[in-house]
Amino acid sequence: MTQTLIFGLTGAALIALGFYGFVSHRHLLRQIVAFNLIGSGLFLLFGALARRAPDGTSDPVPQAMIITGIVVSFAATALAEAIAERLHDRTGRPSLPDLDPDDDD
Amino acid sequence: MIADVITVTLISIGLFFFIAGTAGFIRFPDVHSRLHALTKADNLGLGFVVLGVVAQADSGWSVLKLLLVWLLALTAAATTAQLIARFALPPGERP
Amino acid sequence: MAKSPVKRFALLFALWLVLSQGRLDGVVFGAAAAAGAAWFSAAMSSAIGPRFGLLSLLRLAPGFFWRSLVGGLDVAWRALQPRMPLNPGWTAYSCRLPGGAMRVALGGELSLMPGTLVAGSDGDRLLVHCLDIGGPVEEALRAEEDRLEAAIVP
Amino acid sequence: MTLGDAFDILLCLLILTAAAGVIGGRDLFGSVALFIVYGLLLTIAWVRLGAVDVALAEGAIGAGLTGVLLLGAAAKMDDGAGQRPSFRPGALLLCAGVAGGLGWAVVSLAQPAAGLIPLVRENLPVAGADNPVTAVLLNFRGWDTLMEAAVLLIALVGVWALSPEDSWGGRSGLTQRVRVDGVLGTFGRFLPPIGFVVGVYLVWVGTSAPGGAFQGGTVVAAVWLLAIMAGVVEPPPVASIRLRLLLMAGPAVFLATGIWGFAAGAFMAFDPAYAKPLILAVELVLALSIAATLALLVIGRPRRPQ
């Protein structure tokens, strides 16, 4: 049970941290990295909750879903990175333009 | 029991080398000197940790497998050290 | 690595046996994987001419491990000393071993030996970074190359 | 508090420190490098949680492949100007709320619960794999894994679709300038055969111990990438039919066995008598397709005309 608490709370903190990084950065690559923090935090929280069996084993079903999640999250990261890089090639900027033209960056 | 004592001793020696390597990494003045510390000390650290685990192995195959892990890590470290050292040369000196 | 495809296959299959800890129910997969890998390895190989003998290399192993232990102790001692005795510098070492696997092996070995780190080569000269440039560097490099050269089979 | 708990707490503090450094660090390259360290620390966390399969996936994909991908992107997109996260009190408050809510959920859920363990244990003898995680991935929840293979393919199609008109169908990645007899050129010939055997081993052992198609496929993808970066092999042009067949083979074989499942009663149902060889066959082909897909996702869109 202690492990569920320790790693579960860490996962919760990582999600929040990643979320804050996502909204407070403008550089697309930094946002992609923050998105990965959210993802891994979620997996950790899920994995911590999978370790509640009285005999101390880990539930294999969440484990399998987390492995799926890690791979899908990599696919999403690769696609996002390719889009960001293409934007950078075309505009020379690593971030999305602002709606308000006076408030550059 | 004897195996446990051997394991604890060897892994402690391994940890000492990891700490020494990290100290060198932090204290040494330039990239290349730091690479010395990381490559040599960390490999030795891993080597002693592997030997410590070997003392707990249940079969000859496990021993071989553990040594293989070390050998591959050794090869990778010796190679990446050369690659990083070369990349860290100032552009003018890079052949 | 060995030159003939059969030897490559044998080495890679031995790798499989070690990984699977001698389990016999997977040897078919192991043989197939080793065959595929040996084919790739033979097709990509650029090594022509002299090469290392496996047994000769094994004979070098004890000395190698001993000197890498000295190398680790040396760097650990320097790192943990309060006054940190360092006298770093560069030297260019004229290498007799041919480029490719041999020179890379020498470079990797030297990078684990006391006080030397190889940063690629410039023509036939290895660029060696030394922790103590005042020491007998040239002799140590020469001795290491001699040992490796002795492991070459024609 | 036991020694194990103390270790877990220390590990979690390290993880959180690394994550804070990833978000708060100025230097883009440093931040990405720290993200790899963070991934490796997470790998240890998964081992501590008794989830070795997840640890392998996190180490290989979460830290390794994602790290290579992001380092490559950082080298291209780093404008040298550091970025600090802007201070947003509203967002900070919201995030604190998210952390609090999730934390409360964790605390209230932290009671013994067997979950699906009894169900998995009961059905394991007919699953065709002794490793419960593989049994879930390939048999009980085979649907998810099939979809996942499809998601990988779709992401790759998306990446390819970003290529400009003139390089469509060409090779991904840039021409490598590597000396054949140099360090990288030599290592790029030495390691791939070894990595290939290790990758196949991980797939094969996955039915009875931690490992499987994703972990093994990632190792093969990694050594393929090494061979490409070392200039030993060229990345295939994306218009190549053989490449496309390789990418399709895994999902196609998986789908075919799923349809064959109708013979045993339902889509994706494995007849227990054939389950073991079927799972191994699907995993081996799937691993090769996954390896190709992952490697191509890392090297990105086509850049050179056909």
Check residue D242 and give its pLDDT: 94
Check residue B14 and give its pLDDT: 96
Short-list C40, C45, C38, CA closest to C100: C45
What gap in Å lies between CA D129 and CA D149, rounded to an integer? 20
Contact D194 C16 (CB under 8 A): no
B82 chain-D contacts, CB cut-off 8 A: 183
Which member of D58, D74, D94 has the closest CB to residue A70? D58
Contact B79 D187 (CB under 8 A): yes
Residue-range domain boundaries for chain D: 1-113, 127-306
Banded pLDDT at D130 (limits 50, 70, 90): confident
Domain co-membership, C60 together with C107 = yes
Q: Is the pLDDT of residue C1 over 50?
A: no
Contact A57 D70 (CB under 8 A): no
Domain co-membership, C21 together with C82 = no
Q: Percentage of chain C surpassing pLDDT 70?
A: 94
The number of folded domains in chain C is 2
Range of the domain at C39: 5-44
**Number of residues that this document lists for chain D:** 306
Domain co-membership, C12 together with C78 = no
Q: Is the pLDDT of residue D175 over 90?
A: no
Domain co-membership, C75 together with C39 = no
Search chain A and give the residue with CA nearest D87: A24
pLDDT, tens digit, 9 for 90 and up, residues A1-22: 789 999 999 999 999 999 999 9
Alpha helix segments (H runs only) across chain D: 3-24, 28-48, 52-57, 66-77, 89-109, 117-123, 132-135, 142-161, 183-205, 213-229, 241-260, 275-299
Domain co-membership, C83 together with C128 = yes
Check residue D174 and give its pLDDT: 66
- The whole-number average pLDDT for the span A35-64 is 92
Check residue D306 and give its pLDDT: 66
Domain A2-91, CATH: 1.10.287.3510
Q: Looking at chain B, which subunits does it touch, using at least 3 CB pairs closer than 8 Å as the criterion?
A: C, D
**Number of residues that this document lists for chain A:** 105
Lowest mean pLDDT among A73-87, A89-103, C7-21, C84-98: A89-103
- C45–chain D Cβ distance below 8 A for any pair: yes
Domain co-membership, C87 together with C13 = no
Interface test with B, best of D14, D177, D183 (most B CBs within 10 A): D183
Domain co-membership, C28 together with C96 = no
Q: Distance of alpha carbon B84 from its chain centroid, rounded?
A: 16
- C32–chain D Cβ distance below 8 A for any pair: yes
Domain co-membership, C109 together with C141 = yes
Structure tokens at D159: 């990446």
Which member of B64, B74, B82 has the closest CB to residue C107? B82
- The whole-number average pLDDT for the span C89-111 is 86
- The whole-number average pLDDT for the span C14-22 is 93
Lowest mean pLDDT among B14-18, C43-47, D144-148, D210-214: C43-47
Structure tokens at A62: 């969440």
- The whole-number average pLDDT for the span B15-32 is 92
Instruction: Provide the number of CB pairs (under 8 Å) joining chain C to chain D.
Output: 72
Contact C44 D180 (CB under 8 A): no
- The whole-number average pLDDT for the span D127-136 is 88
Domain co-membership, C101 together with C39 = no
Domain co-membership, C84 together with C109 = yes
